[in-house]
Amino acid sequence: MDPLLALRPWEAPEVTSWGRLPMNAVDRRAGALKLDGDWRFQLLPAPDAPVSDVWSSSYVPGVWTMQDTDDLPQYTNVRMPYAEFPPQSPAANPTGVYERQVDVPADWAGRRIVLQVGAAESVLLVHVDGRPVGISKDSHLAAEFDLTGLVTPGERTVVRLTVVKWSDASHIEDQDQWWHGGVTRSVLLYATDPLHLADVTVRAGRYGELRVDCRVRDTGGALPDGWYVSGELDGQLLGQDTEFDRINAEDERVSDFLGEARLRTTVPDVRTWSAETPELYDLTVRLHRADGTVADASRHRVGFRDVEIVGRDLLVNGERVFVRGVNRHDFHPLTGRTVSYDDMRADLVLLKRFGFNAIRTAHYPNDPALYDLADELGFYVVDEADIESHDHAHEIADDPRYLNAFLDRVSRMVLRDKNHPSVIIWSLGNESDYGAGHDAAAGWVRRHDPTRPLQYEGAAKLGWADPGLASDIACPMYAPLEDCVAHALSGEQTRPLIQCEYSHAMGNSNGTLADHWAAIESTPGLQGGFIWEFWDHGILQRVNDGRPVGRGGAGLYEGGVAAPGHRWAYGGDFGETIHDGAFIADGVVFPDRTPKPVMYEHRELAAPVRLECFRHEGIVLGNHQHFRGLDWLTAEWELSLADGGTRTAPAELPALRPGETAAVPLPFELPEDGGEAWLTLRVTTAGDEPWAPRGTVVCLPQVPLRAAAPKRVLPVRNRSVEVDADGLLLHPLLTSAPTLSLWRAPTDNDELGGTAPRWRAWGLDALVRKVVDVRQAAWSVTVHAEYASDAGVVRHTQVFTPVEDGIHVEESAELPDALADVARVGSVFETVAGLDLMEWYGQGHWESYPDRAFGAPVGHHSVPVDELFTPYLRPQESGGRHGVRHLTLSAPDATGLTVVLDEPRQVCVTRYRAEDLTAVGHHDEVVPRAGCVVHLDAAHRGLGTASCGPDTSPSYLVPPGVHRWSWTLRTL
Ligand code: IPT
């Protein structure tokens, strides 16, 4: 029997690898043979099933679960998709066998030849020409195998990769994402001289000090005499650290088999690296033979920066930086897990444009290119090891059989990523309880890399002030904001509090993000956090046969929406019986990377330039960055008058250092008329940034200049209002008269947080209106109606009064005390077809809700009705606009209607009734109505984040009692 199979490594947690080379930070991508492309492939029902002669093909890098096999993606969060207890796997264990021929270049004769498999999940067995080569686990890090002597330069060789899907390792790769199987990153074959750089460690500090530690080996055996290393930094030669050599020699630490050398320099006037100023230097390290010829070389991009924790502050280059982070998974709607360089770049560019400066690589090390991009574009990275044993966390954390795997995964990540300036914190993994395995791994990291702090949420659970050995940071997840503030004020805080996950972005969510940031920026000890998460992991699926579309699907989606005949699949959509539904759709971007409205909220919260209104003498402008001036920005003033349109004027940004403010004169003479007035500073990039072309909006800070004057309603006596026998308003532009609405299509937060089930129990989803009384006065009509809920009767009054060109509607609703927390109190009506454009004065133009309205500036906005709606993966309440003062719905021939509200209100205009959305699970199932469904809300519940974490705060709830609102309806 094959010795690799005989070991049954898929049920042996002690076996983390066999025949695998040690991890290192030498980049071998340049000059390597890329073995990507179609490989011969067959899928076996189990790892020990016989390999047949029947081959199909599979694309590498890629997962077979997204290609043409019957093993489809499955989504589970915490629970394992099978019942076997660790370290066991199910007997039905899909195993992919990949094979291809490789022509080994003839000029590699005499060289060391290495195969690198970028990533494979979850167990990789390697054979070459039928001979066993090695085994590797750790699905998100590369495995290298020395093929020297096994392959012959100038000849053709057959490489076989056998990938077992389920294993003991699956129990520690139980992350909240789709389960797949395959080879997910590129496969390379490269050659080096037998005398080679085994590893290079670069340390570069903010005062320009650079130290490069090299490890040298020779596969031939003992090192040849006279080898030495040299280094060059942006053309400047580095010096040999002779002190290091002397101490090594005196201590007799010099070895014949392991060469160690250290290079040093100090760069004067160094340009330091930070997320705002990602300055990089080019370093080349060369390994020479005694005659000076170069045996090996390694290139690195070096960022000079310091990270340290002082007291309860995390400092980058001595500055307490705010961590505006997001959790990012490797995801793509067509490939499942495999992401290209362009994909990663597009992810990071988008994050930069929306004010993010940090990434937690949830929950495993990412492709090496991601760290290069983070160095280059400027991100702080929490690099997380591939350990999540969520379903069996307690058993595994102290299980000695898994100890080796913990150490292996954490140490390999550190060995690979230690030279990246972007990596500022190591993370021991996610959701794996806390045990001796973590402390062992923490010990290894502290010894190997004392230059970075370490975090682990499972340890922080012990107590934020004292999380044991495994965390230098209090890094809870989804902690209530009050608790964070209380901790920071308690006098007991010992370390920075940076939430590793917060503000769960499932569906229409991220309520109270602005409250978080107000607290973070004003409370010493709080420094930020990482939003959960970047992606909605919807897989593009054909509706007719239920199969993933796969790599060929580019162009089958746009603006967050799948093309007709397709949809974004979530848990259960591939026929899985064990799954966790739409919980996989919880990102700040759609599966095609279209930003959700929360991105605009975030962009404004991260604004580098802020405004404060300074009475009438001027505007105070502040630089809210940590390291940069304002010279990279340009700006324009916009004055927006409720009754007078928008005016613009060029703005001069003062020269301000980080943290400084300056008063600037009011750029406009405020006109006497025009009503309510707001001043916006439209801030854009002054030149091309690596992540944004010149003119990209960076932020839109805003201050109010003048409040609205009280509105007067003048009844006209020569006209009347028509209502039917039930007291329902008759109006030529309305197909459904205004009635009371207390319900919204539940958001994911409403459902999972338990509010929607309560609303249903009260009967709010199916309230029946009963007219009590219709009273016709001289010129107005008063209608009393009742809506009987299971928590008591809601009384609703409408008074319709004719006014110039229209009808004024005054409403009140009285909610019994038991209806303590409803979705909304307001009017809903429907219009005739053809009113396709909405223009309004209020917040916008993107979607906003009471607790997610910081980033939507007040102004005049205009959006086609079809585009008001946000197509969250599971249809739910969406499309709302906060703080609307007046709106117009018009047809192309300029007919239509106007609504003027008594005060800024939450308004929602879409093509859908709440019940249309509630009835379906995906967007392809919901049919838009021809007319508009219009909600005008006296009160609307905040969104919160209760699908995972805190609900909205009490101030955003809709209280019982009497609500009053009024509005005027006019025909255009
Ligand atoms: C937390 C997980 O770390 C993350 O992977 C994801 O599942 C998130 O929640 C929810 O989407 S764990 C949760 C039990 C708090």
The CATH number for 138's domain is: 2.60.120.260
For residue 239, report the distance from its CA to the centre of ligand 1, in Å. Answer: 48
Atom in ligand 1 nearest the alpha carbon of residue 77: 7
Digit-coded pLDDT (tens) for 698-739: 999 999 999 999 888 888 888 889 999 999 999 999 999 999
Choice from 477, 504, 580 to test ligand 1 binding pocket (greatest atom count within 8 A of CB): 477
Select from 819, 771, 777 the least CA-distant residue to 797: 771
Query: Which residue's alpha carbon is nearest to atom 4 within ligand 1?
Result: 176
Among 384, 432, 457, 532, name the best residue to mutate to test ligand 1's pocket (greatest count of ligand atoms within 8 A of Cβ): 532
167, 192, 217 — which closes off a domain? 192
CATH number at residue 670: 2.60.40.10
What is the pLDDT, as a whole number, of residue 616? 64
Closest protein CA for atom 10 of ligand 1: 948
C-alpha–C-alpha distance, residues 500 and 715, integer Å: 58
From first CA to last CA, the distance across the chain in angstroms is 84
Measure 261 CA to ligand 1 centroid, in angstroms.
Answer: 44
> What mean pLDDT is predicted for residues 923-930?
95
Report pLDDT for 713.
Answer: 84
Tens-place pLDDT, residues 587-634: 999 999 999 999 999 999 999 999 998 766 789 999 999 999 999 999
How many Å apart are CA 731 and CA 904, to the nearest integer? 24
864 lies in the same domain as 850: yes
Q: Name residues contacting ligand 1 (CB within 6 A).
A: 77, 175-176, 363, 430-431, 477-478, 501, 504, 532, 586, 948
Cis peptide before 329 (omega within 30 of 0): no
| Token pair recorded at residue 711 | 């509105």
593 and 620 fall within a common domain:
no
Q: CA–CA separation, 604 vs 768, rounded Å? A: 42
Kindly report, residue by residue over 97-138, the tens digit of the pLDDT: 999 999 999 999 999 999 999 999 999 999 999 999 999 999
Residue 769: closest CA among 793, 792, 785: 785
Mean pLDDT score of the chain: 96
Going by CA atoms, what residue is nearest to atom 13 of ligand 1? 948
**Adjacent-strand bridge partners of 156:** 103
Residue type present at position 463? G
SS3 439: helix
User: How confident is the model over 485-492, as a mean pLDDT?
Assistant: 98
Distances (CA, A) of 937 to 43, 707, 758, 823: 56, 21, 21, 10
Tokens in use for 946?
């209760």
What is the average per-residue pLDDT within 568-597? 97
326 vs 345: CA distance, rounded Å: 15
- Is the omega angle on the peptide bond into residue 61 within 30 degrees of 0, that is, cis? yes
Residues 228 and 321 in one domain: no
Residue 495 Cα to ligand 1 midpoint, Å, equals 23
Task: Specify the residue with its C-alpha closest to ligand 1, atom 9.
Answer: 948
> φ and ψ at 824, to 5 degrees?
-160, 160
Mean pLDDT across 850-878: 98
Q: 250 vs 897, which has greater pLDDT?
A: 897
The verdict on residue 145 lying in a domain is: yes
Of 239-243, 345-349, 432-436, 583-587, the poorest mean pLDDT is in: 239-243
Using alpha carbons, select from 615, 610, 614, 674 the residue that is nearest to residue 639: 674
Residue 615 confidence (pLDDT):
66
Query: Is-contact 539 569, C-beta < 8 A?
Result: yes
- What pTM does this model have? 0.97
Q: For a pLDDT cut of 90, what percent of the chain falls above it?
A: 94
In this structure, what token pair is assigned to residue 634?
């340009």
- 713 lies in a domain? no
Same domain? For 659 and 695 the reply is yes
Q: Tokens standing for 528?
A: 């930020």
Cβ(729)–Cβ(737) below 8 Å: yes
Strand order in the sheet with 380-384: 454-455, 423-427, 380-384, 358-360, 323-327, 526-531, 497-502
In terms of Cα–Cα distance, which of 25, 44, 331, 45 is closest to 160?
44
Q: Helix or strand or coil: residue 374?
A: helix
pLDDT at 177 over 90: yes
**Residues 328 and 442 grouped into a single domain:** yes
Q: How far is the CA of 119 from the centre of ligand 1 (A)?
A: 24
Residues 830 and 910 in one domain: yes
**Are 647 and 572 in a shared domain?**
no
Boundaries of domain holding 561: 538-584
Q: Which two tokens stand for residue 284?
A: 């080349």
pLDDT of residue 134: 98
Mean per-residue pLDDT for 253-280? 95
Assess if residue 78 is contained within a domain.
yes
Backbone angles phi, psi at 364, to 5 degrees: -170, 160
Closest Cα to atom 12 of ligand 1: 431
Distance CA 299, CA 322 (A): 31
Give the separation between CA 493 and CA 496, rounded to whole angstroms: 8
Computed on alpha carbons and rounded to an integer, the radius of gyration of the chain in Å comes to 31
Centre of ligand 1 to C-alpha 504, Å, is: 9
State which ligand 1 atom lies nearest to the alpha carbon of 430.
3
Mean pLDDT, residues 764-792? 94
Going by CA atoms, what residue is nearest to atom 7 of ligand 1? 176
Q: Is residue 468 part of a domain?
A: yes
342: CB partners within 8 A, 6+ apart: none
Same domain (yes/no): 519, 615: no
Angle of CA points 151, 154, 158, to nearest 5°: 45
Question: Is residue 850 in some structural domain?
Answer: yes
Q: Which of 133, 158, 192 is the last residue in one of the domains? A: 192
Output the DSSP codes for 657-683: -TT-EEEE--SSPPPSSS-SEEEEEEE
- E strands of 721-823, at which residues? 734-741, 769-776, 781-789, 792-803, 806-815
Q: Identify whether 812 is part of a domain.
A: no
Which of 151, 167, 192 finishes a domain?
192
pLDDT of amino acid 253: 81
CB 439: neighbour CB atoms within 10 A?
A: 18
The structure tokens listed for 885 are 């003062």
Cα 439 to averaged position of ligand 1 atoms, centre (Å):
22
Q: Cα torsion at 613, 618, 624, 627 (round to 10°)?
A: 180
Q: How remote is the CA of residue 550 from the centroid of ligand 1, in Å?
A: 27
Question: Considering the domain boundaries, does residue 279 fall inside one?
Answer: yes
Q: So which residues are the catalytic ones?
A: 431, 501
* Together in a domain, 362 and 222: no
Closest to 578 measured CA to CA, from 77, 54, 34, 62: 77
Choice among 26-30, 514-518, 707-711 with the minimum mean pLDDT? 707-711
Nearest in space to 831 (alpha carbons), one of 745, 899, 916: 899
- State the closest ligand 1 atom to the C-alpha of 586, by its place in the atom list counted from 1: 11
How much distance in Å is there from the Cα of 311 to the middle of ligand 1?
A: 29
Query: Average pLDDT of 403-425?
Result: 98
Best substitution site from 77, 427, 428, 509 to test ligand 1's pocket, by max atoms within 8 Å of Cβ?
Answer: 77
- Ligand 1 atom closest to the Cα of residue 533 is 11
Taking only the tens place, the pLDDT of each residue in 517-570 is 999 999 999 999 999 999 999 999 999 999 999 999 999 999 999 999 999 999
Count the domains in the chain: 6
In this structure, the answer to whether residues 745 and 857 fall within a common structural domain is: yes
- Which residue matches tokens 């009692």? 961
**Range list of H helices, 498-558:** 513-522
Answer yes or no: is 931 within a domain.
yes
Residues 945 and 855 in one domain: yes
Instruction: Tell which one of 326, 328, 501 to mutate to probe ligand 1, the residue whose CB is within 8 A of the most ligand atoms.
Output: 501
Note whether 390 and 461 are same-domain residues.
yes
How far away, in angstroms, is 737 Cα from ligand 1 center?
44
Query: What are phi and psi for residue 310, nearest 5 degrees?
Result: -120, 115
Q: Let me know: does 770 contact 785? Beta carbons within 8 Å.
A: yes
> Measuring from atom 5 of ligand 1, which residue has the nearest CA?
176
